[in-house]
Structure formats: structure tokens, C-alpha cells
A and B are shown apart, each in its own frame.
Chain A
């Protein structure tokens, strides 16, 4: 059953930390505060913590499940329902990862169009971006991991720059704590899905980890780190904006950068948005690579070819939505599918794997 990957293609366990964290932190980070505040208000930071806890549980489930079958999501399906059924069941998963790449890249292009260059052509930018992504994927999985590593290490200074908002922040905005019902806080947590999606990519690259059992703690560390980063930004946002003002801003994180003024640069957003180029690069790369990997396993099509086709599909997908509301629809759809995939389908798979294991033993 298990998948054989040559040792030279495998990665060290600690790199899982970078992979999972990089997949989670993307364009969602630029605007998630408003979305969680619509329900949970300034108690939104509790939603962030709650999401963190749920993610830990899901991550534990996925590791358990993958350890049993010793493979990736295709192996899991093969294990439970057999090879033939897998061929059909995997289609939605392939589409989901494509959609994920599309919504991330389209949102990023939209941000460039709104904040920097109104005239930027979606098609040309997406084309160049995807060519770069294809180039990275052709370098092999280890190259992708390298990009993931740098996409975290290089822009990490941005976290410090958020402190520029502190002189204008009123931390009493966060009071009173628990002003909203548990239901509202849960809704806020649910609204945060798009922001934290990406951790499920472990289902794709698990077989590529050398000594996967050792990597388990790094995966949890990654989720912990993501939660801390989001919590930090959330608390600063809620104290910087008043509640109604926050609702007016589509990308609160970017609006917060407007206050930053350094002697050598008048507007920091330009540097920040440019840094995001690097930040989302591994997200797109891993999504497309993962999709092609599933296709290879299920339908035995060479990855080099399928990557091209998937990229083309993504390019078309990126060019279709043009207005804010259309783009919002795409991200909402991704969030919804992601929510059902991670929060409902994955636990079902987990339970099914456990049952199957029991059945096989007896």
C-alpha cells in the first residue's frame, strides 16, 4: 500500500513547520479581522484561539490517519474504499486544491490592482506568476520546500512593523471580554476558515517526510505559530480601529500599514504588498504540485504534463472573476468547500480509517 519515494527526494522533519505555516499565512491575513468581527465583534480574538484549538485536533487526526496507511490522501482512500472508487472521489479534492490556488492568486492580483497599479492586467501578471510557479515545481519538491522556507524567513520583519500602530491603539476597545454569545464567537471562528486553510496540505506531502513520526510536533508548532501571529494581529487591529470603522475596511491589515512612515519610505504598503508576492508563492506552488501529485497517483499521468494543464486551468480560472463581489464569491466558495473538507470530511475519513483498521485486524 505504501508509497515509495526515494530518500534523496525526502525532506527533514523540521521543514514541515515551514511548509504548514507558509500554506496557512497568505492573502487571508490581510483581511480576516473584519470577517471575524462581523459576528464576534471585538471578542474575535477568542475565535482565533478557538480556531487554533480545532486545528490542533484536526492535525492530530490527519497524522494518526496518515501513519496508519503510511501514505497520502490517495492511499487513505485506496485503503478505505478501494482503487476504483478513489478515482471518482479524488476529483473534488483535485478541484478544491485548484480553486484554492485560484482564489489566493486572484485576491493577490486584486490587491495589487486596488493598492498599487490600477491598470495591471490580470492575465499577464497571472501568466508570469504561474510560469514562475511551474519553474519552481519542475525543480522538484525540495525546491518548493526551499521557497517555503524563504517565504517565511525573509518577510518576518513585517510582524515587527505592526507595532507602529501601538501609539494610536486603544486597548480598552477589547473590553468587555465575552460581550458576545458563544454562538457568535463560533461563527467568527467559522468565518476564519479561509485564513487558516492550507494546513490540510499535509495530506499531500506526508510521504515526502523523512521519519514522519518525528515531524508531528513540528506540524503542531506551525499551527501554534500561526495562531499566535493571527492573535497578535487581531488584538492590534481591534485596538487600532473602532468597531464600525473596521467594518468599512476591506483589508484592515493594509490600512494599518498606512500609518507607517519611515524616513526613507513614505508609504510602506508598497513594500508590504511586494513582500506578499514571495509569501504566496509557495502556496500556489504546493497547491498545484499537490494536485498534479494526486493525478499521478490516481490516473498515472506524468506530473510534468499535468502541472502544465493545471496551471492553464488556474490561469483561466483567475481571469474569470473581475469585480470585487465576484472575487469575494470565489474566496467565499473556497472557504465554504475548505470548511466542509477540513472540518467534516477529514474527521469522517479519520473515523473510517480507524474502523477499517479494526475490521482488517479481526
Chain B
């Protein structure tokens, strides 16, 4: 008898409890999947949100709303005045910053709400936009909505092409790390229905300080990602070959401590995708290997030199040296050690296959 009473009481309370929190029905909310920030003036920024509207038997339409304000949450409030349903951040895919904003006022303050909001996942992509984010969102790309399309482009380039691994989590980990500086991919609206990945941008204390173009990305990825893939064109006298690296591994080694010297060894295993010369023969392959190695050494070293000059460390030399030395002092590192660091790049390229023809 007693247990029945308990069950009854509990059932009644369950009814009460279900009324305790607000309901969110999928059809009655605006589930935004992209947000972009533009520079207005020294104080104000403009926010643009995009959310898909699903229509039967048709690709989703993108609805774009904008608002201007000082804080990200205020922007959402401002936008809310224009929206019929509550704005919810639960399925965010991309966050974009205009290059102007990232260079002039930096993004440090804008990052806070994305960490604080429990609804935003760590796997979302961040990117810098050449031009205005509002303009970019107003285009119409792909069949799955704008934000999904942009995140698909970044995803594909990370998995199979030259873009190093990145997302909100990796960006934040680098952002807070003393021995590494964060980076973001750069995208650009090419035409009304095409978006393109154009390079990588580098940040120092939340401000964009340096960019590289997409043809340098391959070398950057070799340096940053432990295992990477990608495609690079190599030119020799006999013709030009497109070599796809299918497996590459890098190793860092601290060989001298005073002055500090780091040796980077990069092993690349690749296949030839395309060759416009007359004929492939073993000697040619060796020549391609040599040329490829030379280019890797040169380009990687040039990248590192450039980073050192700009006092940014997206490759994470600081982090690496710290793992090698007990009681490492980051202060000293930032003051002088990093600038004086000697980096040597060694590479081994091995082209294993040349496709199905000779």
C-alpha cells in the first residue's frame, strides 16, 4: 500500500517538475548556424546571424539578420527585435570575423561568449573573411545552407587537403597557451555562389598580424600537424608533377641548448597524381624527390623565419622546447630566446607510386 502511495506522490510531482523549465520546440525557434562579425568603427561592431528556413522539397533558404552593438549578446538582443521566434545557439557551425575587425580591434572579447555558452560545441569552425561577413552570408552556396557549406569546405580541406587541423577547441587551446599562437583559415566570397579558402591567418594576443596564401599552406601543415596529407606541385626541367603526400610525419628535436637549436625532420610519402613531361623513369622520380625535398626545406624555413620576425609562434616551438626542459621560463623565451632560436629543417621525400601509366 505504502509503495503505491509513494508512486502516486512522485507521479504528481513529475507533473509539477515538467512545468519548471521552458520548452523549446524545434519549429518555434530560430536555430542559428552561423554568426559573423564586421568592423563598424573603433567602438561598435556589427553582427550578422544566419539561420536556415526549411521548406518542403527544396534546399533550405538562408535568412540573414544583422545588428550593431558593443557586445556579442547585445547584438543577439538587437537582432531578436527583428526575429519572430527566439534565437538559439545550439547548432552553431561557423563563426566568421572580417579581416578588418580581426586586424584593427582583435577578437579576444568576442571569443568569451562562445566558451561561456554551454550550447555552443567545441567542434565549430572559426574563420577570417576577406571582405565583409554580411556580404558573404548573403550569397547562396551549396544545397545545405550557407553555414553548413562553409563548414564543409573547411572540413574537407582539413581532412584531405592542405589546411592544418583547426576548430574552436584547438584555437582556444593555442590562444591560452603560452608557447603557441593561434591561427584561423581565411575564406573569401568569389562570386554569388562560390566561397573559396584563400589562406591562413595568424594571431598575436587576439589580433591578426600575419597571413599566408593557400600555396604556402601545404608547408605550414607539414610543420604543425603531426600527420598530414596534401597536394603540392613540383617543377623540374623535364616537366611538372603534382605530388600528393599520402602520409607525412614530422619530428622535432632539441639538439643544442645554448643557443637553442631545433631540428625538424619531415618524412613525406607521396604518389604522383599528374605529370606533364614525356615519360616517367626511375631517375626522374629521384629528381622529383630531390626537388621536392629542397622546396620543403626552403619554404618551411622561410615560414619559420617569417614567424620569428613577426614574433608569433603558430608552430609551437615554445611549447615544444618547454616539454624538453624542466623549469622552463616562458618570460625569457618571449623576450629573447625565441628570436634567437635556430631552426633546421630536414626532409625525406619518397614517391612510391606514379599512377597506372608509365
Measured CB to CB, the residues of A under 8 A from B are 114-121, 124-125, 127-128, 131-132, 134-135, 138, 167-168, 170, 172-173, 175-176, 178-179, 240-245, 248-249, 254-255, 258-259, 261, 266-267, 269
The residue in chain B whose Cβ has the minimal distance to the Cβ of A241 is B173
Chain B residues with CB under 8 Å of A114's CB are 118
The residue in chain A whose Cβ has the minimal distance to the Cβ of B178 is A244
Partner of B176, one of A118, A127, A245: A245
B66 is an interface residue with CB less than 8 A from chain A: no
Mask of B1-24 contacts with A, CB within 8 angstroms, 1/0:
011001001100110110011100
Selected A-B contacts with CB under 8 Å, 29 pairs: A116-B118, A117-B22, A118-B21, A119-B20, A119-B22, A121-B20, A124-B13, A124-B16, A127-B13, A128-B13, A131-B6, A132-B10, A135-B3, A135-B6, A167-B165, A168-B170, A172-B323, A176-B322, A176-B326, A178-B326, A179-B327, A242-B173, A242-B174, A244-B176, A244-B177, A258-B118, A258-B169, A261-B121, A261-B123
B167 is an interface residue with CB less than 8 A from chain A: yes
Q: Compute how far the CA of A132 lies from the CA of B174 in the bound complex, rounded to whole angstroms.
A: 45
The residue in chain B whose Cβ has the minimal distance to the Cβ of A244 is B176
Report yes or no: B90 in contact with A175, Cβ–Cβ below 8 A: no
B52 CB → nearest A CB, Å: 14
Q: Compute how far the CA of A176 lies from the CA of B123 in the bound complex, rounded to whole angstroms.
A: 28
Report yes or no: A135 in contact with B121, Cβ–Cβ below 8 A: no
Do most interface residues of chain A lie in helix, strand or loop, or is the interface mixed? Answer: helix
Report yes or no: A267 in contact with B90, Cβ–Cβ below 8 A: yes
Report yes or no: B14 in contact with A128, Cβ–Cβ below 8 A: yes
Q: Compute how far the CA of A352 lies from the CA of B178 in the bound complex, rounded to whole angstroms.
A: 51
Report yes or no: B9 in contact with A131, Cβ–Cβ below 8 A: yes
Report yes or no: A168 in contact with B169, Cβ–Cβ below 8 A: yes
B325 CB → nearest A CB, Å: 7
Enumerate B139-194 residues with CB–CB distance to A below 8 Å: 165, 167, 169-170, 172-178, 180
Chain A residues with CB under 8 Å of B165's CB are 167-168
Report yes or no: A176 in contact with B173, Cβ–Cβ below 8 A: no
Q: How many A-B residue pairs have C-beta atoms within 8 angstroms? Tell me.
A: 101
B202 CB → nearest A CB, Å: 17
Chain B residues with CB under 8 Å of A119's CB are 20-22
B320 is an interface residue with CB less than 8 A from chain A: yes
Report yes or no: A115 in contact with B118, Cβ–Cβ below 8 A: yes
Known: A121-B20, A131-B6, A266-B90. A248 touches B121 (CB 8 A): no
Report yes or no: B123 in contact with A175, Cβ–Cβ below 8 A: no
B319 is an interface residue with CB less than 8 A from chain A: yes
Q: Compute how far the CA of A258 lies from the CA of B89 in the bound complex, rounded to whole angstroms.
A: 14
A294 CB → nearest B CB, Å: 24
Chain A residues with CB under 8 Å of B327's CB are 179
B18 CB → nearest A CB, Å: 10
Q: Compute how far the CA of A127 lies from the CA of B119 in the bound complex, rounded to whole angstroms.
A: 27
Q: Compute how far the CA of A45 lies from the CA of B176 in the bound complex, rounded to whole angstroms.
A: 21
Chain B residues with CB under 8 Å of A127's CB are 13
Partner of A168, one of B6, B22, B167: B167
Report yes or no: B172 in contact with A245, Cβ–Cβ below 8 A: yes
Interface centre among B13, B21, B174, B180 (most CB of A within 10 A): B21
B6 CB → nearest A CB, Å: 5
Chain A residues with CB under 8 Å of B326's CB are 176, 178-179
Report yes or no: B22 in contact with A259, Cβ–Cβ below 8 A: no
Known: A117-B21, A248-B176, A266-B91. A259 touches B169 (CB 8 A): yes
